[in-house]
A and B are shown apart, each in its own frame.
Chain A
Amino acid sequence: MSEQLPASIDDTLKMLSDGRYVADRSLATALYLALKLGRPLFLEGEAGVGKTEIAKVLSETLGRNLIRLQCYEGLDVSSAVYEWNYSRQMIDIRIAEAAGEEDRDRLEEDVFSDRFLIKRPLLQALELDLNGNAPVLLIDELDRTDEPFEAFLLEILSDFQVTIPETGTVKAEKPPIVIITSNRTREIHDAIKRRCFYYWVDYPDAKRELDILDVKVPDADKDLSRQIVAFVQRLRSMDLFKLPGVAETIDWTNALVQLDKIDLDPETVNDTLGTLLKYQDDIEKVKGSEAANLLEQVKADLAARS
């Protein structure tokens, strides 16, 4: 049931829109190249611009398994790659002892065999599914882990193989599709970036954001969507500490739909500003007269256009 990889940039765009993801052509190009040349795609950008979503959409539209590795500080081999099932190993040693097993080499081979290996995401990603397809591997928020783990990733990302000291090297028959995301809370080392195609996911422009709202919140009133997008776009040109991302726009629209609004008014904006801005300073700055001001401009703008 798996789909073929897209054959052109247009195909890639179509595949993404089938997966209800509205993408720039530049993103589709980077993604197409990554798929075609079998290289990881490194997505960097502010929180809430749809980086993780790309991996989900890929796995859905291509019919591949999605294997997700959420990074965190101190992520180590035993939670990212593999671990031995110690209790079963112990029992096995006891049984061998009781049975009078003398041959140490055989025992060791037995204890460190596949039966006792617990596979974690990175090792799972090297395996094919039942249809013989390689999975989509999402390494999410790589910046949250530390440099030693990055160094460990180098082997996996360039050769798609993992070395387990006790048993040997596991190599992927077909390389997985790798998507790496980062929020840039620190700089990722150049050695990792060198092995990937890099794409900076930016905030969308007004037209694209409207398309996104159309797809993601189809039951929102069209005029309301237009107002929302214009309002958010204006917010992004303001001097705020954290600009609202696409995820916030969608959240806000959903919230307004739930409140049965078909038109923005200053009071509603003030009440729901918390879904859009997540820093108290920013909310303080926008709330009240500034919001009313923005809204007035937005409405005048929209009226002038129609």
Chain B
Amino acid sequence: MSLTSQVLHLARRSVVRTIRQPANWITPLVFPLALMAVNSGGLDAATHLPGFPTDSFVAFFLAFPFIQGALFATVNAGVDLARDIQTGFLNRLALTPMQSGALLIGHLGGVIALGFVQAVWYLSVGLLIGVRIEAGFLGTIVLFVLAVLIVLAFGSFGALAALRTGSTEAVHSLFPVFFVFLFISSMNLPRNLIETEWFQTAASVNPVSYLIEAIRSLVIEGWNEEALVLGFAVSIGLAIVGLTLSTLSLRTRMART
């Protein structure tokens, strides 16, 4: 069996397994949008602040579900991989001629598929409630590419946690850590409007801010080259680090088993 075929089999398994656990796909589809509704209603008045970049808080906040959805997908996928380790599936797989790389790529393929569905869903809801993508059709395609890259980057860290710990509980415990990164970012206000100095500094060194700002720029500004370059650089950088560390961990894990 070729590497491609192995990857496709494992990606299909990952997708089917997600579909069979409704909590794993309903939560990332519903919860980020619920938070978006609450924050948009509650913070709509913030658009009256001098220097606020748009008069629609929903449009400003639309980037948030993409990032939070990626977190959900990542943790759920990491938990699935950890379960494979706990139940001995990985041990059995190690006895087959499957290449270890296929496991990682196949697993992340499933995460990316879910991430893409989420991105389509969030954008559709955004368009339905009146958000306009300032960067147009081409910008929408760029937005999807970026969303998928973010899911890949976060997914590789979810896989890393699963491979390093082999414990579903440990992967679950990552969620609050990711959540801290999300909340201490420019998700609620642009960085130049954050008044508290330490918070502004924390948001500026937090890579999640740049991911949010890249998606946000396509929605509310059009083509902001700086925001896009930073967003793509951060997501690609995170993906490279995450994938490298995951590959190393997978080698150790397969050797151990």
Partners in one complex: no
